Copies of this chain bind each other. A is one copy, B any other.
Amino acid sequence: MKIDVKECASILASKDNILILTHAHPDGDTLGCGFALCRALLKMGKMCSVINADEIPKKYDYLYEDIAPMKFRQEYVVAVDVATESLLGDLQGEYHIDMCIDHHATNSEYADVLLLEDVSAACQIVFEVIKELDVEIDEKMANCLYTGLTTDTGCFRYASTTASTYYAAAELIEMGADNGKINRIMFETKSKTYARLERLALDSMRFYEDERVCIITITQEMYRLTGSNEQETEAIPPLTRQIEGVEIGVTIREKPDGTCKASIRTYESVNAAELAKKFGGGGHSQAAACRFDCGVKEAREKIIEKCGELLK
């Protein structure tokens, strides 16, 4: 059942012992939502914690390092920024999910109640929910929410960014969000290992279909050579779409088990979610993802074939 911000806040206000689930391979938006909402609920005197199937990259430490871990028996489970249950990774099937707060048009409505808004970051919705809960937003909450806004919009760069996103960012900065520091961590800091991986990734860049398709392939071997790992690949997918004339950019990442995942980036002319859906994935019109049970070479061939069909 779909609910609005008011209903969402009123349900949350009536619950306690709340467990918040974030999506696997966590990014700034799911974590920003999780920890901002957790902070708000803690301020209301409730028991609350945030969990994730995977390890949280170190750069997100500031979102939660001051929150003391707490043990309680969850009575209400909320998933934030999680479009489908499968995106929960190893947490899938572990919990009955009572509520979902999300901004993906492809949300599969797996939760009992769903607050879905067409905004550029799920944090924008959680911002509204926290306001509605009437909790005073402190600097740390503002940092969490700003983190989601900036990471999901490529630092306010993507076409999905609207006036309301900018207004929300302005408000959060007034509330104490340290935008300079956050953007520096998220966008302006390349670890030496990432810088090495990026060079190899650029080397792997190949063009197909009259150079309208650009594919980067990241293998486990590349992680070994550079001392890097999958957590450091977030900034790679946008690189595929940046070259003049490219309409579909795909980044294929090999998993330790030899299967792989593809991140798809497009512009207006091609719907990324549509392409991802052909392989059982999903996402937004210009940024989507899917998984493959095969190796990178086979996945690449399958992707090129479908791209060819889409571009016809």
> Which positions in A face B, CB cutoff 8 Å?
155-164, 166-167, 169-171, 173-174, 179-181, 183-184, 187-192, 195, 199, 202, 238, 241-244, 267
Q: Which of B157, B179, B192 contacts A183 (CB 8 A)?
A: B157
Residues from chain B with a CB closer than 8 A to the CB of A243 are 190, 192, 195
Q: In the bound complex, how far is the Cα of B243 from the Cα of A261, in angstroms?
A: 27
Q: In the bound complex, how far is the Cα of B189 from the Cα of A259, in angstroms?
A: 31
Would A155 and B158 be within 8 Å (CB), given that A163-B173, A188-B242 are in contact? no
Residues from chain B with a CB closer than 8 A to the CB of A159 are 179-181, 183-184
Residues from chain B with a CB closer than 8 A to the CB of A155 are 155-157
Q: Are A190 and B158 in contact (CB under 8 A)?
A: no
Q: Are A170 and B161 in contact (CB under 8 A)?
A: no
Q: Are A244 and B190 in contact (CB under 8 A)?
A: yes
Q: Are A157 and B188 in contact (CB under 8 A)?
A: yes
Q: Are A158 and B183 in contact (CB under 8 A)?
A: yes
Kindly report how many copies of this chain are found in the complex they form together.
2
A–B Cβ pairs within 8 angstroms, 9 of them: A156-B179, A159-B179, A162-B173, A166-B167, A167-B170, A188-B241, A195-B242, A195-B243, A199-B202
Query: Chain A: interface secondary structure?
Result: helix
Q: Which of B170, B199, B202 contacts A170 (CB 8 A)?
A: B170
Residues from chain B with a CB closer than 8 A to the CB of A183 are 156-159
Residues from chain B with a CB closer than 8 A to the CB of A184 are 159, 267
Q: In the bound complex, how far is the Cα of B199 from the Cα of A167, in angstroms?
A: 37
Q: Are B267 and A191 in contact (CB under 8 A)?
A: no
Residues from chain B with a CB closer than 8 A to the CB of A238 are 188
Q: How far apart are A117's CB and chain B's nearest CB, in angstroms? A: 17
Q: Are A173 and B180 in contact (CB under 8 A)?
A: no
Identify the closest chain B residue to A241 (Cβ): B188
